[in-house]
């Protein structure tokens, strides 16, 4: 699907181009997969009249891989075809760089995550090396600290070339994302299709295990991340103590802080803040946590990630720019899903429409307020 050979020169004419400084009406020239410059004349090539041209989206967190690997609770699909299906959905939403967010370890749900991590990473590597994906796929290691198996899984995975981002997370109920244990419990047994008695036993096992190994596993994840010089995120910080701990550990990114106080403290420390685009689009958190709109109003969002809806960064960027209650212009909203995530993860060669950078681009037309992706280019190669 993706040919690494240098593509032919490309001219994209008559678009409204989203640059770091704002919108311009221009023709864009692409040579050898890089942005070669702008022209004011009408130009030849691909006519993008009526379209907005944005940088390819960089998505730091998508759980969507699992929706294809486990299309039903009792079904596990072949990894490579599942990944290719996931890739097709990702690219259709304008995402040209995706961090596949794989669970490293398990809490109470899906214990098979321990066994499938290695083969799933190998399938991603195979797809990348054989040009089977349209988007560029990198690895976000979501490390579950309540699982003692996480230590060995981290050591087996973190040195791989695709591993570019690590988060520490704890899905033990009663804290962080799920302070209401009973709400969490009833949601979990419904999702896992088990009865209450079995659920109580499993929840207590999780609580005991987390108390026993959580600190050791978290320390190991933090040390391994720093040893490999990767960006480190703390997931679902709720209290000021959570943020203080993350800062002491060298965390640079607060991912999905669950309260306004935690987000403010993270900003005070200079941590970048990643929020979920679905939270904004649906008008609030599905878990009762802080609304992303509230964080946006106070400029407490640096990056929007798709979380569980692959095209949500695209929809959110255009909706935020059209929202009169928010201070973001279109180029600022687009930067939340392109430039800022690229910068945070050391991908300075993309995320902006700027001379010399990769020609990762998406042509978008807006129909009655709804953005629709018409075409996507990755390094100057049309992939959608």
Residues of the chain with CATH 3.20.20.140: 57-349
Q: What is the CATH number of domain 1-55+351-384?
A: 2.30.40.10
The reported pLDDT for the residue numbered 173 is 66
Q: Quick one: how far is CA 302 from the chain centroid? A: 13
The rounded distance, in Å, linking the Cα atoms of 355 and 20 is 12
Q: 328 and 316 in contact (C-beta within 8 Å)?
A: no
d(CA 269, CA 259): 16
Neighbours of 210 (CB within 10 A): 22
CATH superfamily of 57-349: Metal-dependent hydrolases (3.20.20.140)
Residue extent(s) of CATH 2.30.40.10 domains in the chain = 1-55+351-384
- Read off the pTM: 0.92
> Of 214, 46, 84, which is closest to residue 143 (Cα–Cα)?
214
pLDDT in tens, the chain (384 residues): 666 567 889 999 999 999 999 999 999 999 999 999 998 776 678 999 999 999 999 999 999 998 999 998 788 999 999 999 999 999 999 999 999 999 998 875 666 788 899 999 999 999 999 999 999 999 999 999 889 999 999 999 999 999 999 999 887 766 766 676 667 666 666 766 767 777 777 777 777 777 778 899 999 999 999 999 999 999 999 999 999 999 999 999 999 999 999 999 999 999 999 999 999 999 988 878 899 999 999 999 999 999 999 999 999 999 999 999 999 999 999 999 999 999 999 999 999 999 999 999 999 999 999 999 999 999 999 999
CA distance 378 to 314: 16
Is the CB of residue 58 less than 8 Å from the CB of residue 96?
yes
State in Å, rounded, how far the first CA of the chain is from the last one: 10
Buried b (16+ CB within 10 A) or exposed e, 72-87: eeeeeeebbebbbbbb
Under a CB-based contact definition with an 8 Å cutoff, are residues 91 and 134 in contact? yes
């Amino acid at each position: 699907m993706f040919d690494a050979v240098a593509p032919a020169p490309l001219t994209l004419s008559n678009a409204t181009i989203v640059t770091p400084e704002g919108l311009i009406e221009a023709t864009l020239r692409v040579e050898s997969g890089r942005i070669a410059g702008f022209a004011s004349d009408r130009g030849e090539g691909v006519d993008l009249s009526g379209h907005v041209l944005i940088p390819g989206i960089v998505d730091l967190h998508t759980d969507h891989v699992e929706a294809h690997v486990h299309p039903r609770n009792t079904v596990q699909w072949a990894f490579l075809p599942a990944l290719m299906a996931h890739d097709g959905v990702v690219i259709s939403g304008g995402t040209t760089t995706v961090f596949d967010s794989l669970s490293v370890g398990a809490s109470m749900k899906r214990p098979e995550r321990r066994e499938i991590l290695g083969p799933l990473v190998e399938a991603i590597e195979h797809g990348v090396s054989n040009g089977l994906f349209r988007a560029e796929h990198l690895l976000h290691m979501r490390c579950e600290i309540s699982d003692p198996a996480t230590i060995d899984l981290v050591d087996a995975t973190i040195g791989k070339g695709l591993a570019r981002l690590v988060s520490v997370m704890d899905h033990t109920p009663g804290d962080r994302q799920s302070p209401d244990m009973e709400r969490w419990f009833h949601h979990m047994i419904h999702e896992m299709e088990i009865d209450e008695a079995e659920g109580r036993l499993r929840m207590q096992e999780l609580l005991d295990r987390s108390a026993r190994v959580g600190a050791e596993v978290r320390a190991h994840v933090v040390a391994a991340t720093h040893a490999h010089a990767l960006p480190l995120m703390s997931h679902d910080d709720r209290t000021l103590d959570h943020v203080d701990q993350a800062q002491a550990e060298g965390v640079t990114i607060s991912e999905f802080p669950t309260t306004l106080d935690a987000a403010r403290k993270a900003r005070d420390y200079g941590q970048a803040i990643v929020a979920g685009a679905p939270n904004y689009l649906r008008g609030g958190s599905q878990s009762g946590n802080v609304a992303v709109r509230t964080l946006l109003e106070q400029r407490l969002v640096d990056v929007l990630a798709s979380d569980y809806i692959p095209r949500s960064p695209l929809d959110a960027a255009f909706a935020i720019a059209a929202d009169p209650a928010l201070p973001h212009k279109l180029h600022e909203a687009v930067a939340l899903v392109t430039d800022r995530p690229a910068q945070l993860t050391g991908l300075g060669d993309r995320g902006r429409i700027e001379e010399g950078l990769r020609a990762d681009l998406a042509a978008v037309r807006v129909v009655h307020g709804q953005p629709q992706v018409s075409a996507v280019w990755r390094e100057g190669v049309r992939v959608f």
